[in-house]
Structure 1
Amino acid sequence: MSKAERQVGRKAEAAMPLILGNTDALSATASSETAVLWKLAESGRQLDANVVRLTPGRHIAPHAEPDLDVLVLVVAGDGVLGAGPQDEPQSLNTGTLLWLPHGSTRSITAGDDGLAYLTVHRRRPGLQIGQAPRDRTAQDR
């Protein structure tokens, strides 16, 4: 097999679907602590994803994400989605799928049974080291 054929084989392997886990198993074995239960960590990914568990009554404080849309899927428990100050809170239950558009204000509070949810959004670009722009002199103008 040539070097080119081996490289094509590696690319095909990297592009194969991969089962990453089971959300039922994650939420069932979770401790009683609020925590991130799972993170997408595969190299070369274009998405970020997390499974988060909030214990009963715990919450994510109101905030707005200015740059990213976020998709949320409730995988266990129940809770409340708070939107803006004038909006009515919305119930969250297992199976609820919601979209949080960038710029929207949101908060999440776990109900009596706690709440576990999957978040998915575009991956933020990493920091890049670049050359600083040079000062323009009279000769450049």
Structure 2
Amino acid sequence: MTDTTDLLALDRQVCFALSIASRSVIGLYRPLLQPMGLTHPQYLVMLALWQHEPLSVKELGELLRLDPGTLSPLLKRLQALGYLSRERNTKDERALAVTLTPAGRALRAEAEKIPPAIVERLGMELAELQHLHGALMRVIAATDRDPGSRKV
């Protein structure tokens, strides 16, 4: 039995629960993304582009909260897979514009099967997942307000 007065008890730590939940949920995505040739981080890039294309690399990094050193290899791999293109912005030669290719746009139809499959695999009610999402968005907002938290 856990001592409820121990503030350092592992199973009382928000960071521990978030870490385990994150790895576990991402693990559920793996077999669904594998037929598309995507990793979970690549899937997040594709989600952002399906919703907001075109984006500059900087905008994409800010949206996904990824630094350029992490984002660049993801974009190169997605470009090699034929899902996106990166070209110099005609209005600002310093900026790279990221756009989907026809194959990248077509992949969306396959990806639309993923959210319902994840809901089914989790075995949780949609309302409960929506509540969880809202709570996590509040956690993200709180960390954004903290001056000590890492920013991209």
TM value normalised by structure 2: 0.33
Q: Answer 1 or 2: which has greater helix percent.
A: 2
Q: Which has the higher contact order (CA 8 A, sep 6+)?
A: 1
